[in-house]
Amino acid sequence: MTVGLRLGIKGDDTFVRYLREYPKVARKAGKLAINDTIRRGRRMLKQEILQQVNLPPSYLNQTRLTENYANETNLTGSIVGRRRPTSLARFGAEQLYQPNKTRPGRKKAGVSLKVKGRRKVIPRAFLIDLKSGSKDGGNVGLAMRLPKGQKPERRFRAKPLYKSRDTNVWLLYGPSVNQVMSSEKKGPSLVSKMQQPLTNYMNREFRRQFGRLYGG
C-alpha cells in the first residue's frame, strides 16, 4: 500500500460555494493554491525525512519523492514516496577493517552506518560493487554472507544477491521513502503531522489567489 500526502479542495463549504458561484475563477485559484502547497509540502517532507534518516539530499529526487499536480479539471494533488526499499549502502556506509592474524594486511570487519546522527555497526557486513547497479539506483550495495540455510534478521529486508535459492550472500536494505513518510512506530507519521498545517496553508492560499484573480 502506498501512503502519500494528498490535498484537495473538495468538501469545504466555502470552496464549494465559490466553485458553484464563480467556477472559472475558483478552479484556477484552486489549482494554483494546491500546486503551491504541494511544492511547499515536498520541501518540508524532504527536510523531515533527511532528519530522520541519514540519506544524501540528492537521493530524494523527483523519482523517489514524486509530486502530482492539480489541474482545473482535477483539483487534487499529492506527494508520494517511492515504495522500493533503500539500500543500506546509502546510509553513510563505511567499510571497517581489522588486522588479519593469519596473513599480512587487514580484513573486513563489518560496516558502519549513520542513522539519526549516530553510528551503528553491522558485523559481518561488507560493501560490494554491483555490476549493473541495484534496483535502488546505486552501483554499491551492502551485503552479508551467512552460512547456507540462514537468513539475515527481518529488519534488514534482505534480498539474495544471486537468483539461486541456496545463496548465502544477501543484500541489505532499509525502509523505503514511503515507509519513512508513513511510519507510526514512534508517534504520528510525517504524513499525519503535516496534513493539517498544509491544509491550512492551502486554504489561505486559495483565498489569496481567488481575491487576486477575481479582483483583477
| Selection from 18-22, 103-107, 167-171 with the highest mean pLDDT | 18-22
Dig out the grid coordinates for 2 from the structure.
502506498
**C-alpha closest to that of 159 among 177, 180, 136:** 136
Q: Spell out the domain ranges in the chain.
A: 4-82+178-215, 87-175
Mean pLDDT of the chain: 86
62-66, 128-132, 206-210: range with lowest mean pLDDT:
128-132
Dig out the grid coordinates for 202 from the structure.
492551502
**Residue 1: what pLDDT?**
43
d(CA 133, CA 129): 8
**Residue 71: what pLDDT?**
94
pTM of the complete model beyond 0.85: no
For 57-71, write each residue's pLDDT tens digit.
Answer: 888 888 899 999 999
What's the mean pLDDT in 133-145?
74
Distances (CA, A) of 116 to 55, 78, 88, 130, 172: 10, 27, 14, 27, 18
Distances (CA, A) of 14 to 53, 54, 183, 203: 39, 42, 33, 10
Q: How many CB atoms lie within 10 A of CB 121?
A: 12
**Residue 153: what pLDDT?**
85
What's the mean pLDDT in 182-207?
90
pLDDT grade for 11, boundaries at 50, 70 and 90: low
